[in-house]
Amino acid sequence: MMRRSSPTFRCLLRGATSGSSCEARRSVTYMPRPGDGSPRQVTLIPGDGIGPLVTGAVRQVMEAMHAPVFFETYEVHGDMTTVPTEVIESIRRNKVCLKGGLATPVGGGVSSLNVQLRKELDLYASLVHCFNLPGLPTRHENVDIVVIRENTEGEYSGLEHEVVPGVVESLKVMTKFCSERIAKYAFEYAYLNNRKKVTAVHKANIMKLADGLFLESCREVATKYPGIKYNEIIVDNCCMQLVSKPEQFDVMVTPNLYGNLVANTAAGIAGGTGVMPGGNVGQDHAVFEQGASAGNVGNEKLVEQKKANPVALLLSSSMMLRHLQFPSFADRLETAVKRVIAEGKYRTKDLGGSSMTEEVVDAVIANLD
């Protein structure tokens, strides 16, 4: 079996487990390294819109837990042309970052800062874990999907030009290198987290060369993991199946654009943007943010009335704690959040309640063991 032995990689993957038990728990142990347990510095980017509100919530909860994490805050806003160099330096130094959303102006001028950050740090995998939270009723049951999306190339290359007035071309670039590494990440993730099936999402019946290359890489990697089932599904059929029978999906690996759509659809059926955790993972760095729709920073009403939902960022920060190898803190945080949701008394508007962010945060702090 091919196994990556770098500890960062392994604990990144373990970090994304939801904490629920599975039948055959393989014992993945890690060797405590010197310096474990000592406080770690993490870059914090509050962002725009509801960003400062929810990152403030995370800060409060971390303090209440006395988590050995301290934040280095940097202001970045969506209308800046590039991410400032000191922020990138800080992330390279700390290796881990927690981020609120950065708004992207539509249609002109500045390129999306979220995308820039991912390209700069080569965060090649974007992970969104969509699952039903106990106590939160949704239309679909038994949803437990992890969407692993290639994060650097594909349709988001940003290579466009106007051929003649009125005709515009955009290039979608797919390389074997990137397709292979995302396929390897997906299968390794599935292997280490006891997942049974990996599904590749594509449109190779139309885009034969581009998505064909992606599928080829997935198939090659699949042969090295005989214990994990592998199948392929066309993206339009996939969306249809997600809406009618989501329990058939386990881990999904997709190129860039389809991954965006599939992740948002899966997040929507499992509870919404407000609750799904996610992260962007690279070889050396990791940036954790709310799972789906990182560019969605809410509207002004949410900011004024302070009714944004902090659950997504709280669950992402628990993923971050696992990544930093503080599993006990991560477990405490997750159990507290799940208890608050299951109780149902303090829920923000998108989950059907009417609480303010503060109230949810206080409830989480109160529920910490």
Q: Does the footprint of another protein cover residue 316 (CB under 8 A)?
A: no
CA distances from 302 to 16, 51, 53, 275, 288 (A): 28, 11, 10, 16, 22
Which of 216, 210, 226 has the alpha carbon at shortest distance from 172? 210
Partnered with residue 70 across adjacent β-strands are: 41
Nearest approach in angstroms of CB 212 to another protein is 8
When the beta carbons of 11 and 239 are compared against another protein, the nearer one is 239
HSE-CB at 285 with a 13 A cutoff on CA atoms is 22
Say whether residue 24 binds another protein (CB under 8 A): no
- Label the pairing between strands 286-290 and 144-150: unpaired
Closest contact distance (angstroms) between CB of 272 and another protein is 6
Residue 156 found at the interface with another protein (CB under 8 A): yes
Residues of span 201-260 touching another protein by CB under 8 A: 203, 206-210, 213, 235-237, 239-244, 257-258, 260
Instruction: Kindly indicate which of the ranges 5-13, 58-66, 80-88, 171-179 contains the residues binding another protein, using the contact rule CB under 8 A.
Output: 171-179
CB 149 → another protein: shortest distance, Å?
11
192 CB neighbour count, 10 Å cutoff? 20
Q: Does the footprint of another protein cover residue 341 (CB under 8 A)? A: no
Q: Are the C-beta atoms of residues 151 and 126 closer than 8 Å to each other? A: yes
Contact indicator for 292, 128 with CB cutoff of 8 Å: yes
Candidates 6, 86, 142, 176; binder of another protein (CB under 8 A) is 176
Count residues near another protein (CB under 8 A).
61
Q: Which of 60, 73, 82, 175 binds another protein (CB under 8 A)?
A: 175
Distance CA 354, CA 361 (A): 14
Would you count residue 139 as binding another protein (CB under 8 A)? yes
Q: Which is nearer to another protein, 15 or 268 (CB)?
A: 268
Report the alpha-carbon distance of residue 199 to residue 88 in Å, rounded.
Answer: 34
Select from 46-54, 99-107, 127-135, 321-329 the region that touches another protein (CB under 8 A). 99-107
161 binds another protein (CB under 8 A): yes
- Per CB under 8 A, contacts with another protein among 51-90 are none
Q: How far is the CB of 48 from another protein (least distance, A)?
A: 13
At residue 358's C-alpha, the angle toward residues 356 and 359, to 5°, is 70
The alpha carbon dihedral of 233, 235, 236, 241 has a sign of positive
Q: Supply angle C-alpha 20, 132, 360, rounded to 5.
A: 90
| Residues forming the site for another protein (CB under 8 A) | 104-108, 112, 115, 139-140, 155-156, 158, 160-162, 164-177, 203, 206-210, 213, 235-237, 239-244, 257-258, 260-261, 263-265, 267-269, 272-273, 292-293, 295-296
